[in-house]
Every structure is written in structure tokens, then in C-alpha cells.
């Protein structure tokens, strides 16, 4: 079960092929839409046959890693299944965060086991992926225990850690990851815009905020959420919240709704933390709805 075929010769496919072959797996073939990408990946991995024949390449191995772009996974899998490219008893894996294991149903119908194995990490290039994969969490989704066992073994080879998820949970899992990663960037952009309105140079502001962001992350790592929450809402400081709202409604009225929405969620966390009293929470929520409806 250590013969592996890679379908989709991009950053993730090439890096996983390289890491698996370094750990003693045999990469029998790398197939992609373009021969150029397949050859480049094969040269990097140092073994396997480069091809554009997806079904032929898949049939050469017991493990088939589909690492195409998300929107091609289902269709690529169906194409290989249609051409009888999956061996019965083989394991077919995709690495998409957004797609469920169900995207591989055509392989399952041909007697293969299926699992989705998403590295919860940002992998912008092959080199970065090789550096970042070890230590990352892998979200595994399957209803097949033996498929999960083989996937866990691959995660061990990647020096990763397993995050288990219930079948059907992928969209919310992916939404959670996108909220944390993408909305963090959006939230920092929001703060920078308020500082710019206060006349602070954007780069100076980012330089000054980075230690605050890093300190907050350290607190989250150490004591978790909601314990790491600080600031006027956590303290129940309604006057400060009102000053924020009044200034934003004057200088950045388009951002008022966003402040109020995040503020309401922050009230919920502060109540969970126990630092905000019910009475102060009511006052702050009343301010947030009054300004939020402007
Ligand atoms: N990069 C990340 O940060 C990251 C993190 C976690 C998970 N993932 C997941 O890993 C998967 C691969 O991502 P990636 O970043 O490696 O993408 P990528 O660098 O864009 O590579 C995707 C590869 O798929 C090939 N491909 C696309 N459509 C195809 C088709 N119809 N038939 C055959 N090959 C096809 C492309 O081939 P050609 O070059 O030959 O055209 C390309 O080389 C995705 O499901 C992604 O969601 C990515």
C-alpha cells in the first residue's frame, strides 16, 4: 500500500509526493493537465512517470492522491473511474478543504476506499509546502475506518497531527478556517482604516499594531478563548464603546455596521468569560443596536 500516484502536479501534489518518497513510499506516476507540470513535479520528486494519462497513472498505484484545484476534483475522479483507473481496494484521497469526501463517490462505486485529507496550512509553493507541512494539522473525513488508518499513517509520515471531523462537516470546518485566517486579515485592515482616519500613517500603524496582534495570539495560545478577551467590552466600559461609535459614525460611517456586528459577538464572549455583568452587557447591546441602525 506504499505505491502512490499523484494526480494534479501543483504545489500540494509535488510537495506531498516529495515527502512521501523521502519517507520510503514509491511514487509510481505523476499526471497532470499539462505534461510540463507533470515533468516538473517528477523531476522535483525524483521518481515516477510523468504523464497526462490520469487513469493510466492512477492504475499504477494503491494510493491515488488527487491534488488538482478544487473545482476539478470531482470531475477528474469521475473521468478516472469511467476509464477503470482505480484498482478495487485502492485508496483515493483528495486534499481539498472545501470539498467533502463525497466528491470521490465515483471511485467508491468502483470498489476503492476514499478519504479527504486536508492540510490546514497555507502552502503557496512547493518549497514552502515542504517546510510548512510538517507540524500541520490534517483534517480527515471518511466513513471507512481502514481508509482513515492509511490516511493517519500518511499524516504521521508528513509529521502532521490529525483533526477528526464528522462526515458532512466539511463546509462548516472550512468556513471556520476561512473566518479565522481571512477575517483576521480583514479585521486588521478594518483597524488600519480607523487609524488612517485618525491621521496615522498606514505603515506606522501596522508596525505599531503587530506587537499587539502577536501578544494577543500568545495570550490565546496560553489561556484560550474567551479568557484572552480584553478591552472595553470585556470590562463593561460602555462610555468608551459609545465614544468609539460616535467617532466612527462621524469619520467612517460605512464601517459602523461592522463594528456593531463584531461588538455583539464580543459581548457574547465577554459574558462567557464572566468579566462583563448582565447590566453592562444590556447597556452596550443597546448602544450597538442604536448606532447599528443609523
Ligand atoms: N495551496 C494551499 O495552500 C492548499 C492548502 C491546503 C489544501 N490545498 C488543496 O490542495 C489541492 C491542490 O492545491 P494546490 O495549491 O497544489 O493547487 P495548484 O498549485 O494550483 O495545483 C493544481 C494542479 O492541478 C492540476 N489540474 C487542474 N485541473 C486539472 C485537471 N482537470 N486534470 C488534471 N490536472 C488538473 C493543475 O495542472 P496543470 O499545471 O497541469 O495545468 C495544477 O498543477 C486543492 O484541492 C487545494 O484546495 C491547498
pTM exceeds 0.85, yes or no:
yes
For the residues of 131-196, what is the DSSP string, one character each? HHSTT-EEEEE-S-HHHHHHHHHHHHHTT-EEEE--TT-HHHHHHHHHHHHHHHHHHHHHHHHHHH
State if residue 119 touches ligand 1 by the CB under 6 angstroms criterion.
yes
Residues 254, 250: Cα–Cα separation, whole Å? 10
pLDDT digits (tens, 9 = 90+) for 12-43: 999 999 999 999 999 999 999 999 999 999 99
pLDDT digits (tens, 9 = 90+) for 169-185: 999 999 999 999 999 99
Q: Is pLDDT above 70 for 1?
A: no
The protein residue whose alpha carbon is closest to atom 27 in ligand 1 is 68
State if residue 116 touches ligand 1 by the CB under 6 angstroms criterion.
no
CATH class of segment(s) 3-168: alpha beta
How high is the pLDDT of residue 2? 87
Q: Is pLDDT above 80 for 294?
A: no
From 19, 33, 56, 132, the mutation candidate for ligand 1 (largest count of ligand atoms within 8 A of CB) is 33
How high is the pLDDT of residue 239? 98
State if residue 40 touches ligand 1 by the CB under 6 angstroms criterion.
no
Q: Is pLDDT above 80 for 240?
A: yes
**What number is the average pLDDT over the span 270-287?**
98
CB atoms within 10 A of CB 258: 15
Contact partners, residue 42, CB within 8 Å, separation at least 6: 9, 30, 48, 49, 50
The protein residue whose alpha carbon is closest to atom 43 in ligand 1 is 10
In the chain, the largest separation of any two C-alpha atoms, in whole Å, equals 69
The full set of domain ranges for the chain reads: 3-168, 172-292
Q: Report residue 269: phi and psi, to 5°.
A: -65, -40
Say how many Å lie between the CA of residue 125 and the centre of ligand 1: 11
Residues 94, 117: Cα–Cα separation, whole Å? 6
Say how many Å lie between the CA of residue 6 and the centre of ligand 1: 11
State if residue 11 touches ligand 1 by the CB under 6 angstroms criterion.
yes
Say how many Å lie between the CA of residue 108 and the centre of ligand 1: 22
- Report residue 293's pLDDT band, with 50, 70 and 90 as the boundaries: confident
The protein residue whose alpha carbon is closest to atom 1 in ligand 1 is 123
The alpha carbon of residue 171 and the mean position of all alpha carbons in its chain are separated, in whole angstroms, by 11
Residues 138, 17: Cα–Cα separation, whole Å? 16
Amino acid at each position: 500500500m506504499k505505491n502512490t500516484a499523484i494526480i494534479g502536479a501543483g504545489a500540494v501534489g509535488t510537495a506531498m509526493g516529495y515527502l512521501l518518497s523521502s519517507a520510503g513510499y514509491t511514487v509510481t506516476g505523476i499526471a497532470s493537465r499539462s505534461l510540463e507540470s507533470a515533468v516538473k513535479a517528477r523531476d522535483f520528486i525524483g521518481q515516477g512517470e510523468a504523464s497526462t494519462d490520469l487513469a493510466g497513472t492512477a492504475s499504477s498505484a494503491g494510493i491515488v492522491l488527487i491534488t488538482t484545484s478544487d473545482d476539478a476534483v470531482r470531475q477528474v475522479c469521475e473521468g478516472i473511474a469511467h476509464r477503470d483507473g482505480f484498482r478495487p481496494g485502492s485508496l483515493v484521497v483528495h486534499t481539498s478543504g472545501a470539498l467533502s469526501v463525497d466528491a470521490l463517490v465515483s471511485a467508491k462505486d468502483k470498489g476503492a476506499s476514499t478519504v479527504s485529507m486536508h492540510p490546514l496550512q497555507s502552502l503557496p509553493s512547493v518549497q514552502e509546502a515542504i517546510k510548512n507541512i510538517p507540524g500541520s494539522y490534517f483534517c480527515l473525513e471518511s466513513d471507512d475506518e481502514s481508509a482513515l488508518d492509511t490516511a493517519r499513517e500518511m499524516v504521521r509520515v508528513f509529521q502532521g497531527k490529525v483533526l477528526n471531523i464528522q462526515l458532512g462537516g466539511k463546509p462548516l470546518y472550512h468556513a471556520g478556517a476561512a473566518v479565522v485566517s481571512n477575517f483576521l486579515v480583514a479585521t486588521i485592515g478594518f483597524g488600519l482604516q480607523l487609524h488612517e482616519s485618525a491621521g496615522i500613517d498606514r505603515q506606522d500603524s501596522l508596525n505599531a499594531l503587530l506587537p499587539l496582534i502577536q501578544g494577543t495570539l500568545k495570550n490565546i495560545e496560553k489561556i484560550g478563548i474567551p479568557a484572552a478577551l480584553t478591552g472595553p467590552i470585556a470590562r463593561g466600559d460602555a462610555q468608551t464603546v459609545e465614544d468609539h461609535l460616535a467617532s466612527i459614525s462621524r469619520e467612517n460611517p460605512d464601517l459602523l455596521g461592522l463594528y456593531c456586528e463584531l461588538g455583539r459577538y464580543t459581548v457574547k464572549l465577554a459574558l462567557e468569560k464572566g468579566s462583563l455583568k448582565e447590566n453592562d452587557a444590556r447597556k452596550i447591546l443597546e448602544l450597538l443596536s442604536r448606532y447599528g441602525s443609523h
